[in-house]
A and B are shown apart, each in its own frame.
Chain A
């Protein structure tokens, strides 16, 4: 697998391909997809020898985000692909490309209510059948965050040192106080 060539193909399919630092996040690439490109992307990944690590959803505004994780058996290449569901909370299935996605999609239907169009058997997997519309992992209104609130902030290392000197001035007044006491 030639990663540069694969990356070029990703760029054709996606809205953004981002290199992320493995040591910080545990992933190598972040790919943002449009809904209708998810199936093409999955086909490409399978042809390049990637396996499906995981498929899950995150409830954020403006829409539920479905996250696909891929990795490779031969080289270290962890890929995170994301796509938002549409107004009807629907998403095309990839369970005919990656059969392992079958259960993950059923689980996501259980927990978040995402309907995977074209799935052969979208019945409850983990939850009992009577709880089909429970959707337990949907956030309450008060807890729901915007998608930007859960994204990594780009100048992340910069604010961290700034935050550290902040407590120091607090220490100084304490020292002054102790002088006063003495």
Chain B
């Protein structure tokens, strides 16, 4: 991989290439970015991907579709349950399986806890990128509670494989419900502290406002979704635009920004945590009794020939599974459309001409999870 660097006539401002990553802490995982710098300004950016490629799409073509579920969790390790949800839904749609209502409620509650967990990690890590060390201690403290709650019911702390085709693997109990309610109360009481400690901070505002501005048209050209898109003022959320599962039953808002800069997506993510809490609260109140598994799920799940799509709102944007089936139980082709992939591809355009330190701000605002890009 190389970059064409043309020497400028004026020798005082010569251009040079700086290699950022794959071990740089602000690239979150194994992303490498080649930066063509002029002084401290990034004139050209070239992301280099593929360090974490694990051939998930190839693996999918060699085993029954049902047993691909653990792989989904390993793509986006922060939104594992939501990736589970999308895939379970895809197969249920394809095979025509009706899911019991209690399952849908459990799925929504755990998915939203997972979303808050992801946002809390981003919150701490982003501020760490920007040079603020303290907030990550607070946000990891809160996040730990979610991990404990989810560990009890799913058995794992990060790469959950909790959803099954037609249901979930284990029922939630009284301990889960009381624990979640206690957590909601706790996190609500922490929000004002975050506002005081971080969001109003003048250094943070100087680092984020007017940095990395996006427009809805840019988002359409690159396929950017999620909080970045909502930061530009477009209230596009799969939970509302194409209501899946039982999201149409709940009353929640879709936070939006106006300017499309880093501050806008920062605030969108921050307010989304409160909305997720609202959804969880409503779901806990309405939690019905019943079975946690659909009645008839064949052991060998044959998928009728044709193509199927299932889209869900992952913490970083729209996640789509596209399955092409030839009528057998093994997918003929499975394509996973991951949100970070499209979101990151805007980097060369978004960061051109920026200060290097602002590139770090802008990349952090994308909330990158590299394993879901490389797949």
A150→B223 contact, CB < 8 A: no
Give the contacts of A91-122 with B (CB-CB under 8 A): 97-100, 102-103, 111
Task: State the CA gap A152–B332 with chains docked (Å).
Answer: 13
Chain A residue at minimum C-beta to C-beta distance from B235: A73
Any B CB within 8 A of the CB of A137: yes
Contact of B236 among A54, A73, A126, A152 (CB under 8 A): A73
Any A CB within 8 A of the CB of B341: yes
1/0 per residue, CB under 8 A from B, across A74-104: the answer is: 0010101000000000000000011110110
Chain B residues near A49 (CB-CB < 8 A): 220
Any A CB within 8 A of the CB of B134: no
Any B CB within 8 A of the CB of A27: yes
B50→A73 contact, CB < 8 A: no
A51→B223 contact, CB < 8 A: yes
Any A CB within 8 A of the CB of B195: no
Chain A nearest CB from B255 CB (Å) reads 16
Q: Which of B1, B93, B337 has the most CB of A within 10 A?
A: B337
Chain B residues near A56 (CB-CB < 8 A): 322, 333, 335
A126→B374 contact, CB < 8 A: yes
1/0 per residue, CB under 8 A from A, across B349-374: the answer is: 10000000000000000000000001
Chain B nearest CB from A2 CB (Å) reads 18
B241→A76 contact, CB < 8 A: yes
Chain A nearest CB from B269 CB (Å) reads 19
Chain A nearest CB from B247 CB (Å) reads 14
Any B CB within 8 A of the CB of A37: no
Task: State the CA gap A73–B375 with chains docked (Å).
Answer: 26
Any A CB within 8 A of the CB of B169: no
1/0 per residue, CB under 8 A from A, across B324-341: the answer is: 111100001101010001
A136→B58 contact, CB < 8 A: yes
* Given known A26-B93, A126-B50, A127-B50, contact A153–B304 (CB-CB < 8 A): yes
Interface size on A, residues (CB 8 A): 46
Chain B residues near A27 (CB-CB < 8 A): 307, 309
B305→A153 contact, CB < 8 A: yes
* Given known A99-B222, A99-B345, A149-B326, contact A129–B308 (CB-CB < 8 A): no
1/0 per residue, CB under 8 A from B, across A141-155: the answer is: 000010001111100
Task: State the CA gap A123–B47 with chains docked (Å).
Answer: 12
Chain A residue at minimum C-beta to C-beta distance from B330: A143
Chain A residues near B223 (CB-CB < 8 A): 51-54, 98, 100
Interface size on B, residues (CB 8 A): 50
Chain A residue at minimum C-beta to C-beta distance from B332: A150
Chain B residues near A128 (CB-CB < 8 A): 50
Chain A residues near B332 (CB-CB < 8 A): 58, 145, 150
A69→B337 contact, CB < 8 A: yes
B305→A151 contact, CB < 8 A: yes
Chain B residues near A123 (CB-CB < 8 A): 1
A25→B309 contact, CB < 8 A: yes
29 contacts between A and B (CB under 8 A): A23-B93, A26-B310, A27-B307, A49-B220, A51-B221, A52-B220, A52-B222, A52-B342, A53-B337, A54-B223, A54-B337, A58-B332, A67-B322, A69-B337, A73-B241, A78-B311, A80-B307, A100-B222, A102-B345, A103-B341, A123-B1, A124-B50, A126-B49, A126-B374, A128-B50, A137-B58, A150-B305, A150-B332, A160-B304
* Contacts beyond the supplied A126-B53, A151-B306, A153-B306: 16 A-B pairs with Cβ under 8 Å: A24-B93, A26-B310, A53-B223, A56-B322, A58-B333, A69-B320, A73-B219, A73-B220, A99-B222, A100-B222, A125-B50, A126-B49, A137-B58, A145-B332, A152-B305, A152-B307
Q: Interface of A with B (CB < 8 Å)?
A: 23-27, 46, 49-54, 56, 58-59, 67, 69, 71, 73, 76, 78, 80, 97-100, 102-103, 111, 123-129, 136-137, 145, 149-153, 156, 160
